[in-house]
Amino acid sequence: MLASRSDYVPVRGLHYHVRHWGRVGAPKIFMLHGWMDVAASFQFVVDCLRGDWHVIAPDWRGFGLSDWPATDTYWFMDYIADLEVLIQHYAGAEAINLVGHSMGGNIAGIYAGVRPARVRRLVNLEGFGLAATRPEQSPERIARWLDELQDPPRMRSYASLAEVAARLQKTNPRLSDARAAFLAEHWSAQNEAGEWAILGDPVHKQHGPHLYQVEEVLACWRATTAPVLAVEAEETNMWLWMGPKEEARHEIDRRLSHLRDVRIVRLPAAGHMLHHDQPEALATLIEDFLQS
């Protein structure tokens, strides 16, 4: 297992934890984790990279070892602004390679259209967005947000790291014991009560007041000039948040059609956490694409 190193970067009033693998000075790959995940989640993919790379992976605000802002609502555009600060810090004006999983893929996809000159290549790992919304859903959405502000979400804790690992394997039965144990150590930390708490702010579980505006996202995708590799797991469960399977398939294909230069790959024997399930195959896809 390739050892990682950590540093902390001031980002818009917060201290961001950033994990690094590989040689400083080597070509850079920024890897962006998904919702309720951490940067260490990319360890298995990094271990399978053959080339000389400097992998830079932040814990998003409110996740992992980055600061948790004193807020009752997380705003999605904050991630875009945080990413810009991190890219400027580590890469200056250099065009960079971006790899994003799920929420991280959504962030990377928007950023690539907002700052097209800053992105050399983009690898989107199932960051295809949420179900489309309609304006008439707004009153209910705002009411739900107000209700949740009065009854904030909570996160359960676990008696041991073994319980955390078991929780991860329940969500993803493909995880080996060794990989689940590694992730448990980075996904949780012992609290004052001696229990293991997930390193994710419970506020992330709250629904914000804004509807998901898919056409605004697709406008960013159309503005993207970098080549894009879109990777989907053949056994994904992303249909759960995109709608009925047939409708979701049509909608994902429609969204991908807005990218001017996209290669679409489906990864066999993998679910949504494809970087855990098939890290060897995924690392090969990423390297071949970035070096093409």
Q: Report all structural domains of the chain as residue ranges with CATH numbers, in order of start.
A: 5-131+212-290 (3.40.50.1820)
pLDDT for the residue numbered 57: 98
**How do the pLDDT tens digits run along the chain, 292 residues long?**
999 999 999 999 999 999 999 999 999 999 999 999 999 999 999 999 999 999 999 999 999 999 999 999 999 999 999 999 999 999 999 999 999 999 999 999 999 999 999 999 999 999 999 999 999 999 999 999 999 999 999 999 999 999 999 999 999 999 999 999 999 999 999 998 999 999 999 999 999 999 999 999 999 999 999 999 999 999 998 777 777 888 888 999 999 999 999 999 999 999 999 999 999 999 999 999 999 8
Closest CA relative to residue 114, chosen from 61, 142, 77? 77
pLDDT for the residue numbered 239: 73
Residue 173 has a CB neighbour count (10 Å cut-off) of 8
Q: Residue 173 is encoded by which pair of tokens?
A: 């039965």
Cα separation, 242 vs 54, whole angstroms: 34
Closest CA relative to residue 184, chosen from 287, 286, 57, 276? 276
CA atoms lying within 13 Å on the CB side of residue 78: 15
Angle at 4 between CA 97 and CA 275, to 5 degrees: 55
Closest CA relative to residue 97, chosen from 232, 277, 288? 288
Closest CA relative to residue 168, chosen from 9, 57, 5, 38? 38
Closest CA relative to residue 239, chosen from 229, 230, 228, 252? 252
Q: Residue 93 is encoded by which pair of tokens?
A: 């004006």
CA 16 to chain centre: 15
Cα separation, 59 vs 57, whole angstroms: 7
Cα separation, 39 vs 43, whole angstroms: 8
